[in-house]
Amino acid sequence: MVKQKPEGMIAEFENPAALLRAAEKMRAAGFSSFDCHSPFPIHGMDRAMGEKRSPLGWIVAVVAFLGFSAGMGLEWWSSSVAYPLVISGKPFFSYQAFGPVAFAVMVLSSALTALIGMLALNKLPLFNHPVFNSDNFRRATDDAFFISILADDPKYDEQATRNFLSEIGGQNIEQLLETTEMKEGA
């Protein structure tokens, strides 16, 4: 026995400009749980969809500050508290000479935050998503442009959404179905 559950809908658009215009209309119609998929980032799409700027820059800025402090702190503590040793007559806390290492720790921690933070904000890795149920959607990483709407959107309604997508120029409109194989007697 096969059980199918609707999870959302995708529609294909002809080119980046069509996708951009469609995104504006989706937003104007009040959809919230939709996304515009393209093989490369499209200039102006954030504004068309009403997306806020990514907060990643601020997160990395905080980590950069903490990273520099941690690097300098380690150098201060290890050379003046844990293992004080006079080297070339320099002070225990030779902050001038400690710059390069503190800088390296700052860059390293910030870069790690940029990558891990990007993945976390994007909720990746995520290997199972409704859009992957569509075979046509594979072209989203090649040369096709899609809008996806998930069924959890308050405005989502199977027939009305399908009509609306078709109205704003969507082609190959496809319902995303989660297919679960039920075992006999289960």
Partner 1 sequence: MSVTLTKSKPGALEEVPLIKGNQTFRSITEKISEITERKTALTWVLLFSLAASVALLFFAQIGYLFWEGIGIWGLQNPVGWGWAIVNFVFWVGIGHAGTLISAVLFLFRQKWRTSINRFAEAMTIFAVIVALVFPGIHVGRVWVAYFMFPLPNQMQMWPNFRSPLLWDIFAVGTYFTVSLMFWYTGLIPDLATLRDRAKTRLRKITMGILALGWRGGNKQWKHYEMAYLLLAGLSTPLVLSVHSVVSTDFATSIIPGWHTTIFPPYFVAGAIFSGFAMVLTLAIIARKAYGLENIITIQHFEKMNKIIMVTGMMVGYAYGMEFFIAWYSGNEYEKFAFINRAFGPYAWAYWIMITCNVLIPQLYWSKKMRTSVPVMFTISIFVNIGMWFERFVITVTSLANDYLPSSWDYYSPTIFDIGLLIGSFGLFFSLFLLFIRFLPMISMAEVKGVLPQADPHHYEGEAHHG
H or E segment and range at residue 6: strand 2-13
CB nearer to partner 1: give 143 or 184.
143
Residue 38 binds partner 1 (CB under 8 A) = yes
The verdict on 10 binding partner 1 (CB under 8 A) reads no
Taking CB under 8 A as the rule, does residue 20 contact partner 1? yes
9 vs 36, which CB is nearer to partner 1?
36
Q: Please give the Cα distance from 116 to 123 (Å, whole number).
A: 10
90 binds partner 1 (CB under 8 A): yes
Question: Does the protein bind partner 1 through residue 86 (CB under 8 A)?
Answer: no
Q: List binders of partner 1 among 129-158 (CB under 8 A).
A: 129, 131-132, 138-143, 148
Distance CA 32, CA 121 (A): 17
Q: Measured from the CB of residue 28, what is the shortest distance to partner 1 in angstroms?
A: 15
- 40 near partner 1 (CB under 8 A): yes
Among 3, 112, 163, 167, binds partner 1 (CB under 8 A): 112
User: Per rule CB under 8 A, is residue 16 in the interface with partner 1?
Assistant: yes
By C-alpha distance, which of 63, 69, 68 is closest to 110? 63
Q: Please state, in angstroms and rounded to a whole number, the distance separating the CA atoms of residues 113 and 148.
A: 29
Residues 6+ apart with CB under 8 A from 44: 20
Binding to partner 1 by residue 111, rule CB under 8 A? yes
> Is-contact 111 68, C-beta < 8 A?
no
